[in-house]
Structures are given as structure tokens and as C-alpha cells.
């Protein structure tokens, strides 16, 4: 607003008469565009960057640093994995402990937050402080779910090799 006030005052009588109305129209269009984006991207509207930010946000900026996507990530794991106990490791500085309190108590009891990657069934990352692509890490992890804002990935869940080995179907034995 301070910039708008300074611009308004700078557009004095030396400028054409349409300069101030043009400033108002351009300001309104910019605010309307931002508001529309925020409505469209709800509930992740806090991860807003204007067009000047370019692409590949996560390589240059912290995105979901509040961890708002974590609740959805935990709920997605719970919806798609019926195991009584699920080990989850955070692959970034995302606050999973706080998000876990937002999950229903019965489901919360199924999630165990582990401190080491080898113990995990799933890895959740919002890329804060760590831009690792765990599917490309060579450890056998696979992409399980992503939250995107437009073309930008703000959170990923990876299914670990440990989890995949545990769910492998038993091969029936054949006797001659």
C-alpha cells in the first residue's frame, strides 16, 4: 500500500489525466488476479509466488514451510494403507509432529514418526532444506503421492523399499 500511495502522489499534474485511473485499474487487476489464484489454490494459498518468481520454485524458495500439506499427506497414507502401524519419516524440515495432532485420534495411533529413513514405510517431504528426489535416490523408493500448485510440486510422499517388500504377495510353493 505504501508503494501505491507513493505512486499515486507521484502521478501529479505533470502526467496525463488518465495516469491515476490507469494506476487504479492496474492495481485492481493485480489484486483480483492474486485473489483468484488464492481461491483456486486453497488450502495451499500461502504458497503464493507472482509471475516474477519464474518456475521451479522449490529450488530457490521455501514453499510450504508451515507444513499445511502435511495433514493431507498423512491422511492420504492412512486412506491408502490399511496397516495397523505405519512408519513415517520426514525427508525435510517439515513439522510432521504438529500435523499428526490434526489427524483423527484412531488414525493418529497408526502413524509412528521414525527418526531414521531405513525404518520408514513412507517419506514425506516438502523440500524445505532438502530437495532430494527419493525416487531417484537409488534406494528403491517410489513416488506415492504429490501435492501440486499449478506446475509446481510442494510436497511429495515416497513409498520406501521397506514398505514395498513388506506388501509383496507370497509366492505359492509348488510341490512335485
pLDDT at residue 175 greater than cutoff 90: no
Supply the pTM of this predicted model: 0.76
* Bigger pLDDT: 63 vs 77: 77
Mean pLDDT taken over the chain = 85
Instruction: Kindly state the cell numbers that stand for 69.
Output: 500439506
Q: What is the pLDDT of residues 36-56, one digit of tens each?
A: 988 988 888 887 777 777 787
DSSP string over 52-96: GG-S-GGGTS--STT-THHHHHHHHHHHH---S-EEEEESSS--H
Dihedral of alpha carbons 138, 95, 110, 156, sign: negative
**pLDDT band with cut points at 50, 70 and 90 for residue 25:** very high
Model pLDDT, residue 165: 64
Mean pLDDT of 26-35: 90
Mean pLDDT of 114-140: 89
CB-CB neighbours of 104 under 10 Å: 10
161-164-165 Cα angle (round to 5): 85
Phi, psi dihedrals of residue 53, rounded to the nearest 5°: -75, -20
Model pLDDT, residue 170: 41
Q: What is the pLDDT of residues 66-113, one digit of tens each?
A: 788 999 999 999 999 999 999 999 999 888 999 999 999 999 999 999
Model pLDDT, residue 114: 96
Amino acid at each position: 500500500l505504501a508503494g501505491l500511495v507513493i505512486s499515486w502522489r507521484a502521478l501529479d499534474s505533470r502526467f496525463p489525466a488518465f495516469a491515476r485511473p490507469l494506476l487504479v485499474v492496474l492495481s485492481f487487476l493485480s489484486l483480483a488476479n492474486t485473489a483468484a489464484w488464492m481461491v483456486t489454490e486453497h488450502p495451499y494459498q500461502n504458497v503464493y509466488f507472482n509471475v516474477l518468481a519464474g518456475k521451479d520454485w522449490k529450488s530457490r524458495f521455501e514453499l510450504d514451510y508451515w507444513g499445511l500439506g502435511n495433514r493431507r499427506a498423512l491422511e492420504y497414507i492412512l486412506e491408502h494403507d490399511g496397516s495397523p502401524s505405519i512408519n513415517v519419516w520426514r525427508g525435510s524440515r517439515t513439522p510432521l509432529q504438529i500435523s499428526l495432532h490434526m489427524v483423527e485420534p484412531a488414525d493418529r495411533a497408526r502413524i509412528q514418526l521414525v527418526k531414521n529413513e531405513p525404518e520408514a514405510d513412507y517419506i514425506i517431504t516438502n523440500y524445505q532444506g532438502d530437495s532430494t528426489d527419493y525416487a531417484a535416490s537409488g534406494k528403491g523408493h517410489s513416488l506415492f503421492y504429490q501435492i501440486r500448485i499449478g506446475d509446481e510440486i510442494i510436497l511429495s510422499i515416497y513409498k520406501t523399499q521397506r514398505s514395498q517388500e513388506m506388501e509383496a504377495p507370497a509366492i505359492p510353493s509348488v510341490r512335485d
